[in-house]
Amino acid sequence: MTGKIFTKLKVLKTKHILCKARINGKKAKLLVDTGASNSCIHSDLQDYFKLQKDGEPFQASGASEGKMEAIMTLNCNIKLGRNYIGKQAFVLLDLSHVNNTLNTQGVEQIDGVIGADFLKKNNAIIDYGQNKLFL
């Protein structure tokens, strides 16, 4: 692999990929989702992660039916595993529907999603054989 930094990934029984992270120093469980255009954090966790809103609310579409209200955050510090990655903005979005679905399948709740914006910006490589994310 060409990436200098890697973090271990966990494959859930639903086949989703989970990455442990720290956002502004707080532990986070994030799905790695190449199909999500933007990285997002569950809006209920804004205070926990000390995220500051940036701009006006907007309508976003996602894995649920219809549009949902969302708002961008200012850049915050993100670490994957033990590696400081840098600054990253997130979309604050209600992820209750995602967690409800995961709960019905006996899977732990998530705090957010690492999307294509982060993966592309960091030239990410997902090694499914080794369950590692290289940056």
Residue 134 belongs to some domain of the structure: no
pLDDT score at 5: 85
pLDDT score at 76: 94
Residue 135 belongs to some domain of the structure: no
- What predicted TM-score, i.e. pTM, was given to this entire model? 0.90
As a whole number of angstroms, the distance between CA 90 and CA 41 comes to 6
Instruction: Tell me the CATH number at 108.
Output: 2.40.70.10
Residue 107 belongs to some domain of the structure: yes
Residue 105 belongs to some domain of the structure: yes
As a whole number of angstroms, the distance between CA 57 and CA 103 comes to 28
Number of domain units in the chain: 1
Domain that holds residue 26: 6-126
As a whole number of angstroms, the distance between CA 73 and CA 70 comes to 10
* Ranges in the chain, pLDDT < 70: 1-3, 62-65
As a whole number of angstroms, the distance between CA 127 and CA 134 comes to 8
Q: Percentage helix, strand, coil, to 5, in the chain?
A: 15, 45, 40
Neighbours of 98 (CB within 10 A): 22
The tens digit of pLDDT for each residue in 57-77 reads: 778 876 666 778 888 999 999
Residue 71 belongs to some domain of the structure: yes
pLDDT score at 2: 52
> 7 Cβ partners below 8 Å, 6+ apart?
19, 20, 80, 81, 83, 132, 133
pLDDT score at 61: 72
Helix (H) or strand (E) holding 97: helix 96-104
Burial 14-42 (b: 16+ CB within 10 A, else e): eebbbbbbbbeeeebebbbbeebebbbbb
Residue 116 belongs to some domain of the structure: yes
Residue 131 belongs to some domain of the structure: no
